[in-house]
């Protein structure tokens, strides 16, 4: 990968880092509001759950972006952390913080899906 390409990825990642870091500041939705109305309490709880999920996603993305910047600095950006093969430029253009090639990522996704389905069995109730 050329220095120009790395610098372009670095700028993209730094912009994403700044954008994601700013999104974390929106925490007022986490405030617990008390209301005598049950429907209002349910709606506020739902909004808090959504805000927590959003903060968790942003924190995860921020960790991935920071790790990608560190890989640029270490000279390992664009190399799969699992199989050590090159990550395609097409994948990096779509997801610059990708740490795995598409083959390893698909395998990890399948494993995660299998693990989640084993942890959350669906129960069928007989009529």
pLDDT tens-place values along the chain, 127 residues long: 899 999 999 999 999 999 887 765 566 656 666 777 888 888 888 888 888 888 899 999 999 999 999 999 999 999 999 999 999 999 999 999 999 999 999 999 999 888 887 766 555 555 4
Burial of 1 (0-12, 13-18, 19+ CB in 10 A): middle
Total domains present in the chain: 2
Asked, for residue 67, whether it belongs to a domain, the answer is: yes
Q: What is the pTM of this model?
A: 0.76
Tell whether 18 and 54 lie within a shared domain.
Answer: yes
Tell whether 66 and 102 lie within a shared domain.
Answer: no
Tell whether 11 and 68 lie within a shared domain.
Answer: yes
Dihedral of the alpha carbons of 34, 36, 40, 45, in degrees to the nearest 10: 40
Asked, for residue 39, whether it belongs to a domain, the answer is: yes
Asked, for residue 124, whether it belongs to a domain, the answer is: no
Tell whether 19 and 68 lie within a shared domain.
Answer: yes
């Amino acid at each position: 990968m050329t220095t120009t390409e790395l610098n372009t990825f670095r700028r993209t990642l730094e912009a994403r880092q700044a954008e994601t870091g700013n999104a974390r500041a929106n925490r007022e939705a986490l405030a617990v509001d008390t209301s005598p109305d049950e429907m209002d309490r349910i709606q506020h709880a739902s909004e808090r759950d959504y805000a927590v999920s959003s903060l968790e996603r942003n924190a995860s993305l921020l960790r991935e972006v920071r790790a990608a910047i560190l890989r640029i600095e270490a000279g390992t950006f664009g190399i799969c952390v699992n199989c050590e093969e090159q990550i395609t430029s097409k994948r990096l253009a779509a997801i610059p913080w990708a740490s795995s090639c598409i083959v390893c990522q698909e395998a990890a996704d399948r494993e995660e899906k299998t693990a989640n389905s084993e942890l959350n069995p669906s129960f069928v109730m007989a009529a």
